[in-house]
Amino acid sequence: MKGKKEKKNILFLIILNEFCERYCFYSIKSILFTFLIEQYKLTVPKSTFLVHMFVFISYLFGVVGGIVADGFLGRYKTIIYFNLLYLLGNLFLLLSSYHVNLLMLILSLIFISIGTGGLKPCISAFGGDQLINATKSKVEGFFSVFYFSINAGSLFGILLTPILSKYNCLSEKCFSSAFKISTLIHSLSIVLFLVGSMNYTKKSPDKQFIVRLWKYLRIKYLENKGDSSHNKNEIEIICPETQRDVNSVINIFKIFFFVAFFWMLNDQHSSNWIDQGNQMRNTFYIFNYKFTLYPSQMAAVNAFSIILMIPLFVNYVYPFFNARKMLLKPLEKMYLGLAMTIISFVVSTFLQIFIDLGYKFSLLMQIPQYLLLTIGEILMSITGLQFAYSNSPESMKSLVFSGWLLTTALGNFYIMVLSIVNPFKLFNLSFTIQTQIFSCLISVLGLYWMILTCRKYEI
């Protein structure tokens, strides 16, 4: 059995690895919209579509990563192989920043999104695997620190990358410098992960897991069609433990479905909110010193606020409400998280209305909507991570985490559809207002449906 110090060291490596990987991902995500518009000369709707396609594939392949880890390679090998594909995508992206080549750019985004998608459900679950016989408070503590590292990495990526991309290289904006740094940081994350290889707890994959899962799902499908005679004998082959585990996962996924509405709103800060920021004043004078803030850097408000607010919520906000018999269940926090996110978009939509009327606001006017978005994310996303790990069967934790990630993919898919369909084009509204109004309306209905559907659960 590993000593406490050794456990802390390997957990530290996993957390540091996540910090570096998140820096890389968010550095790309933070400037991708601007990169597509300024260097590739794409329109706002097309750039919006590609940004959310990138995020969509990233989270969609979380399902593939979960299945590969749980049923074929195990979490450790899955992390290694998907990291290599991720690194290849980074190299292609770097090349596409030197020479405009849309095909190479799209290929690089696909490789990066598949690579990071395969990693997403495995890293957090792999970290949980190291917590053998850990108490509930220690598990919660790990995931809080893990989420802290995610936001710390994203914070540095969001703050530094836009600055790096503005340095001039032969009279052109140097996006290549930004992508070069992100590639080096990602390489460092791979090295950090490999350092602890000899000391990790590496759980073997259950290679019959996919077969059992497929058989059981097929049987349940036939039962729903009324073909009970066909599967009565066959269902006895499936052990009770597998039946219980699959039913548990299905119930969790029913709850996850509604989380997609949260991500549909949240991830628009990488596209529509940047477009909104481009229409605002971004130059300020502090003590006669000129200061420039780039719209893509405003997402740092979200990351920085999460870092500050996590201890505040854990130590003060939750105990305050718990003492009054409120926010005791994870689902209650998740309801409130979606509601706060909807409110943040109502604020953003009103701001955009005044911008479209000709008012020139400071970029700092976006801070209130980012703070509301942060509160919503803490209530929804951190709670969701803990909920996914604590309520999932041991044999299917990566699959459950991939299901959690799939909610982000689904949310971004909604935005991709909105960027094409343009539902309010007859009302002569700007693209940003159209997508935000429609997203809010869908999310309000989603919240109502979520409360009605999930109130029967005792979790």
Residue-wise pLDDT for 239-276, tens only, equals 666 667 777 788 888 888 889 999 999 999 988 999 99
Over range 340-344, report the average pLDDT: 96
Looking at this protein, which amino acid is placed at residue 254? K
CB burial of residue 285 (10 Å; 0-12, 13-18, 19+):
exposed
Q: For all residues of the chain together, what is the average pLDDT?
A: 84
pLDDT in tens, 346-396: 999 999 999 999 999 999 999 999 999 999 999 998 888 778 777 787 767
Domain boundaries, the chain: 4-205+239-454
| Residue, of 88 and 142, whose pLDDT is higher | 88
| Residue, of 454 and 57, whose pLDDT is higher | 57
Name, of 133-142, 210-219, 321-330, 338-347, the range with top average pLDDT: 338-347
Architecture of the domain made up of 4-205+239-454: Up-down Bundle (1.20)
Asked whether the predicted pLDDT for residue 452 surpasses 50, the reply is: yes
Question: Residue 396: its pLDDT value, please?
Answer: 74
Over range 39-52, report the average pLDDT: 90
pLDDT in tens, 330-341: 888 999 999 999
Question: pLDDT band at residue 435, thresholds of 50, 70 and 90?
Answer: confident
| Residue, of 302 and 103, whose pLDDT is higher | 103
Q: How far apart are CA 13 and CA 5, in angstroms?
A: 13
Q: State phi, psi for 289 to the nearest 5 degrees.
A: -105, 125
CB burial of residue 77 (10 Å; 0-12, 13-18, 19+):
middle
Q: pTM of the predicted model, to two decimals?
A: 0.79
Q: How far apart are CA 141 and CA 125, in angstroms?
A: 14
Question: Residue 331: its pLDDT value, please?
Answer: 85
Question: Residue 1: its pLDDT value, please?
Answer: 46
Select from 273, 261, 441, 442 the least CA-distant residue to 348: 273
Question: Residue 110: its pLDDT value, please?
Answer: 96
- Determine what percent of the chain falls in helix, strand and coil, rounding each to the nearest 5: 80, 5, 15
Asked whether the predicted pLDDT for residue 440 surpasses 60, the reply is: yes
Question: Residue 449: its pLDDT value, please?
Answer: 86
Least confident of 20-24, 129-133, 335-339, 398-402: 398-402
| Residue, of 48 and 237, whose pLDDT is higher | 48
* Cβ 106 vs Cβ 139: under 8 Å: no
Question: Residue 51: its pLDDT value, please?
Answer: 93
Question: Residue 171: its pLDDT value, please?
Answer: 47
Question: Residue 349: its pLDDT value, please?
Answer: 94
